[in-house]
Structure 1
Amino acid sequence: MNLSGSPAPPSSFVDRLADEMMTRWRAGGRLRTEDFLDRHPDLWHRPDAALELIAEELALRTEGGEDVAAEELVARFPAWAAQVTALLDCQRVLGPPAAPRFPVPGDMLGEFRLVAELGRGVHGRVFLATQSGLADRPVVLKLGPDAGNEHLSLARLQHTHIVPLYSAHEFPAAGLRALCMPYFGGATLAELLTATAKREPLGRSGALLLAALAAAPAPAGIPVPQPGPACALLGRASFVEAVCWIGACLADALQYAHDRGLLHLDLKPSNVLLAADGVPMLLDFHLARPPLRAGESAPTWIGGTPGYMPGEQLAALDAVRTGDPVPGAVDARADVYALGVLLTEALRYQGPADDGEIVSVGLADVLAHCTETDAARRYPTAAELAADLRRHMADLPLRGVRNRSFHERWRKWRRRRPYALSLVLAVAATAAIGSGVTLHAQRQVGRARTALEEGESFLRQGRLAEAAEAFRGTEALAQGVPFQYDLTARVKAGKRATERGLAVTELHALCERVRPMYAAEVLAPDEARKVAELCRAVWAERESVVRNLEGQASADLEQQWRADLLDLGIMTAYLDASLAAPDSKTDDRRRALETLAQAESLLGASGVLYLERANHARALGLMDMAAEADRLAQAARPRTAWEHLAVGRAKLGAGDAKGAAADLDSAIALDPRSLWANYYQGVCCLRLGDPTGALSAFSACVAIAPQSAWCYFNRGLAQTELGRQPQARADFDRATALDRTLTTALLDRSRYAPKK
């Protein structure tokens, strides 16, 4: 009942305030009902809305174990004394909401036996456990209320320096969700920095950090992972080098998350694990969320840790509290700021030492650049910060900041070229400094080998940009050091393999740009013609491309470039035929057939090529050629996920959406995370009049590739078919923000009117 006679506020508005109250309480902020009523004074005159907020506060306080007295509520809200007393009585009769019931070590939780408690927070606990269904393997279980999306954030992240998620398990009877993760042993960076802080600054080193790691307590009866190559690197590094290396690894992890549309927003030493094998890993994505744009509506929640949040993140927190729009963008630079604070904190007590082992001017400038108050003055990406940290370790000039110290530039140059002094000076000083030069050269070789091993490791993992940077650093460190033939040969081989791998990446990027245009519902003609010209230019160089790409370092890269080059031929033929002018259609179709013949000659026979040939031959009226191509396609049945995908796509191009859907189902069954199988399946659903299926398929695409404009664009088409105009507009806006060339396709808004 509305007692005031004033119009009641929309229930969605009150629900949003209640959600905000719950989120803030669970993040540690104990907001009271009056905070919301004072922010929105009209609510003081609308008891129904106010009582909803009071009920939410009562539930949260009861969940936290508080006993709320009626006298307190009456004193706070005397005008509604009867209502709040009745509300409290109802709550006592119905009972409090079930709070999570946490188990203790020794308990069984599903198939997990809890061994030891590793830590706890306000709303969760972390246990070491064994999983009986998988040979009692040791795992880490993070237990918390069955709410939130941390498991969905972690599920998208598979990176060397991010602790991955094995699985998520719901335990409704206990009100818990368990996130199951691998057990890596080790200790948090916060624990290690505390342990090393007891030593005098000049006595700290990477070896000391390693010793603290080895001394970290380990549960009895659980095997601890053995030290790995990273431990050898730490053992040889100075303290500053060790911290810089850890920072570069964390920056790599952040960049990986940012590329997938996620910010961490809670980076601090206690959320960094140094595993027992020496590898730094990022923990705790419970506050992770997509970036916020300036001017957009405040989200229902955002979090962070004071001292590690930049100004724009704090301003967004205020916007959540006041309900105002977000004043400034919160993006990757917020995580760069937090990483800069973390590194500054780690190095803060590192005192002066000899031979440059202090926080040098260049490194201090790198850290200051991370923690600029104005986000526009920071490193724009975590990858650029990682590159500068590695360049600092390799004594190379920095790129993100000025190299303003002449003394530091000279020292770095001398380290890279220890034998560059003139012969006369070298001979004159031989007796005095011979042993020093030898020791310096040995140290230089040690650094070069460390950088080389890191580059080779990046190459094996397919992290080609980092590999290229590491090999460049190795080359600079080894320059001028004689008799290092094996080192030089390995660097040369690594650089060549990396360059060829990067060429595969460039070819893949071109194909990824073209693939959405195949059988697209809407094409921007100018953009499509530019892409077609680029495809023709690359295809004309196909034989030199093959010579350059053959013999990759890994079977995956070898398979990828061959599939991509085949696709490039198919796409070139498709675009030639699709964009042909009416008076040149026959010639362009014949050119498409010639392109497919070239692809077969270069890459071998393929059922996909036969289907594409049949499509173009039918369009030209060459029915005998089409029938023969169909016969050959039937004989070459698809086996792999990619083959099913390509066959389904060819059928889609021929107008057989139903047949295409069956092959695409097979592709998804073999590889559920295949972006293009889900994408073309969505196109099939749209053509078959199944917008619900299309929405599901394109939503999967958005989850797999959150930076792909075409995924949002096509999901908008599905939303439109379902009459969900606000959601469609949001998807179209996101698509055009990611790719302005799609704006042309949206000019005719009448196309997106809801179906009658």
Structure 2
Amino acid sequence: MTPRRAQREDFGELQLSEPFPSEVGRSRQFPVVDRRWLSASTGPNPLASGSFEAIVAELTACWDRGERPHVEAFLGRMSSAHPADVVELIYHEFCLAESKGLAPDPTDFLRRFPDREASLDRLFRLHGALSSTELRQWTDPEILPEVGDEIGPYILKRELGRGSFARVYLAEQSDLDDRLVVVKISTRLTPEPRLLARARHSHIVEVLWHGSAEDGTLQLICLPFLGGATLSTVLAERRRIGRRPRSGRDLLSDLDRVSAPEYPKANLARPAREVVEGLSYPAATAWMVARLAEALDHAYLRGVAHGDIKPSNILLTADGNPMLLDFNLAVGWRLPGASDLPADAGGTLAYMAPERLRAVAESHRMSTPSAADRHRADIFALGVVLLEALTGQSPDLPQAKARTRQEIAAMLAESGRNGDDAMRWLARSSVPRGLRSILTRCLAPDRADRYSQASELADDLDRWRAGRPLAFAEEPPWRFRLGRWARRQRFAVAAAVLAVIICTTAMTALWHSFQSTLRRQAEDKLTLTWDRNDSTVFRFLRFGNWSPDNQIDAAETACKHLNLYNVLEDADWRLRNDVQSLPEPERSELEVWLLEQILRYTRALGNRPDSPDDWLRAQALLEQVMAKAPFGPLQTQQRRLLQQLNKTGGSPPLTTPQPEVAVRPALWMEDYLLGVEAEPRHAREALVHYQAVLRARPHSFWGHYRASTVAFRLGDQPATAEHLRQCIAQRPRNVALRAQLAGCLFMMGQYDAALAECTKALEIDPDHAVSTRNQTFVRKQLGQGDHVKSDLRRFELLTRSQSEVLMLKVRLESMHSSDPDRARSAPKPIEPILASDQADDLETRLLRATQLRDRKRYPEALLELDKLIELEPEHLEARLYRAMLLRKLECRKAMADFAYLVDHPRLEELIAQYKDAVSIYHQRTSDLLQENQPKAAIKVAQDGLVQAYRIQTMLGESHYALARAYGLAARSEPCFIPRAAAELENVFAINPSILGNWFEDDVNFDGLRDRVRPARFKRD
């Protein structure tokens, strides 16, 4: 506890009126008196100008302004001359003089008031007995409670603001379920609660309760907690950000950033916020000030003048409503012509009207202003607030060494800063002209030139906001009224504009019709190119019969696609009508597809051996394309062609350089072409590029399609299906895409969904052979035998290749029917072996080789596989079958095939299609161990273990292969013994039978078998 706090609590314990003394180290509790229950007959109305409380407040205000009035001027105005009140008033002057450092003499007061000598003498002697510190605690605002204290039912949670003799807290009201309220506590008794009650309005903060504490030393006012922040806080936030608001939405954003966090966001009422959000910033400010003007007018009609209007006394609630606060300096009167008004209690100089400044500066000649004058002074202050809110600049006090309030007020009044300076400031601002006229009326130096009532100000503000003529302020020049006139005469203006539009439409109708025709033709051509049945655009073949580099028709197919848009002949093909007329995103998708065809075409030409003429054609095309968009993959292909030409002694033809301005290529197109470049041999790298395309362009058609092809090669069927669905969403009538999705769903075991896709594809094109074939497979799997026969007849009718029909029949016979009755009633038929002359494609040859292998006709199977690999050396599936068959026949030629497969960059794709292909690593590891190459065997075994964990298959076998490699290496390097033991422990944990079958007889563990044997593995 601080010394000041301890001293204060000790002093609280000495007060006889304190029924619950504070405990040391705990929050204080202040008993309160609810003034609502005091009878009106117990004393005079504190609001009356002749009441004791009003006179004390006026005397204190005069001393605060720097004046030194004597109490004799106030004694004659007291409505009830109770002796105790007279003595207290005299003593109050003594305390005020002492607080100002004047060292008043008690003898002087006894001489001035001889009839009160006895009472004053006892009071002054008691005053002298108290220490100066204890005395200041009676008048110093430091006696105010602090956060954490309890005062009546209120628990003070957070300080919201403070003044010279008052503080405002956010509090919880314990007797009403701890609701949040605002409690204002001051050391002076003011008429504020009664004036608030009298001037009750939707834009004036409402008083919920008022009372006193500490034997009347503290005045309490309970107000509702409305959230939000004061206008001064909102304007300060705007100045901090340094951004000029453009709309009411910006104003509400500033308000939300500084609003009280305790106010629940879910309770925000919408009407006021919706009004403000839909307005420009000047209109939103005008709307708020108009509501405040209505509140001022309402208070004026009920005999209340605010007296201290400024941004810090205006609350913007969380729901966007402006509210007037702090009626501490307000004055009230009962009748419109009342003459017993109290003197001007002061205010904020920067917002004072000129006549109020003169009154403060000449306080010795001060006269009591009338109610109308006070109201017009409030209108002036509200105009200054409006100007500050519009410009963001606050009115500053003059930089001078003025010591007193009177001197500062005299300087302001003499310079006319609050009047003429405001007009000059307004003329240089960016405030709309209509609002300038309103502000000119508000800030007129002569009060007679201002609005007579705040309701007039509110009316003009609403008129300006609605685009109507101003009723009280001077209208701006005609050029500024033109926009407002147009809004008012909107029907006539609309008719004129409509006539112009009709004429313009008639003049341009032909042009628009022509453009619509071009667009429709371009879309029809794109649909014909991409969605027709015999299109070669979409290639989605089964793994194994697609060669990345040696497609016979690659150049022919790409050339055909490029000729559709004359890309090979026209360097400005992007400006063609059938390209330029396409809407986005189709135009960009067509452009990137044509760039892909250029890359494929030039790569196919470059791969032609000993063909410099083809290389020169590719080089010329790349130069033509890169003059417009220098994409990285095209540059790489150009460098490769130049190297080939240099090796053969050829050179590209000399061409006259054309001054082309290279357009910066789109990054997503760059990523797409990088994916196409990497796709033949590095599928996973290509997938990374396609994913980058989709991050930049989530709905890219070709980004999704290329990603689906790569995902299919990597065995990710769910991703493949999702990408194909995205493609179909953009081109729902593309039967090729639906057929591919059906095949993917079939491989995932989703037969009903696959059948649905086949049905949709055949509804679009009943003659689509691929969809018919897919439907046959699905129905066979679902056991729909009758439909399978009809589909097979339909496929025979549609296909042009008899080998495909025979291959389909063979595969249908090899499929296991899902009909259990048929499976029990009929034995599995023997598949017919395709004739050799029917093997006119790679897939048919592979199927024939598989049939021969299953019949144990191994030499014939090897012959078919040899022919297939001779036609397509990179047919990995055929390589795998041949290697396994050679290993079965114990032929050393298998070692070459296993070595080829392990080193091939597309092995990961093969494993994704055939999970047992992980055994390739095991076979290659065994071959290397036989050749006594343990280090190379370790590397291969480790790669195999990574692939096994990736697809979660053959884990035990992969660990055992690595253990064998470590075992052989340990013969020369004992450091590998612990590693071999660790791998064998993993094998035992995954599949102990592997050790039981192979470990004891494995020569790679000779000499160290007992040292690496798992502890739990028992030798038989």
Relative to the length of structure 1, the TM-score reads 0.46
Higher relative contact order (CA 8 A, sep 6+): 1
Relative to the length of structure 2, the TM-score reads 0.35
Q: Which has the larger radius of gyration?
A: 2
